[in-house]
Amino acid sequence: KKLAGVESLGGEAGFSALERIVIRPTLEITGISGGYTDEGLKAIVPSFAKVKVFARLVMDQNPSKIKDSLVQYFQKNLTKGVQFKCESEIGLSGYACNTDNKFFTHMNDASKQVFGKTSVNIREGGSIPIVAAFKEMLGMDSILMGFGLRTDNIHGPNEHFALTNMVKGMETIAAFFLRI
């Protein structure tokens, strides 16, 4: 709550804030526009509206099926006379690495060697679509190592990344490869 600057986090019942962030699917409205948007007021009924939504998928969710379900829901709930059009960019399925393998152990050992502390392994709710494709096409898990801090404000205003973390990150990757 402190990091987000809010009184309450809300969200899906039965799951902690961390679980909702990293292992649960989301459907987010990322933009809304319509009607008169210039300066000043106009007493009009808008002839159009546009909404942008983003869905974060998790393991075993099919992007095409999710899109089709959303479109079906919106079409079913339209007011008579309203037209609906969906333009979509379909991503890939969610991915979670199997952490019970020697490569994951090597990654943790390399991280401890360089940083002097045991790493904290936290699943991340973001997506890098190619990772799921690697698993599907190659049948192999990928290990992603992140060296940023939550205070780096990744993809936000004043985004930054400390050079010391970059150097230690490269050292960790080198130590990892020497182990495998």
Domain range summary for the chain, segments of one domain joined by +: 1-91, 102-179
CATH code given to domain 1-91 = 3.30.70.360
**Class of domain 102-179 (CATH, top level):** mainly alpha
User: Does the predicted model carry a pTM greater than 0.85?
Assistant: no
Query: Residues 54, 59, 60, CA angle at the centre, nearest 5°?
Result: 100
Q: One-letter amino acid identity for 55?
A: A
Q: What's the pLDDT tens digit per position in 105-160?
A: 999 999 999 999 988 887 776 667 788 888 889 998 888 898 988 899 988 889 99
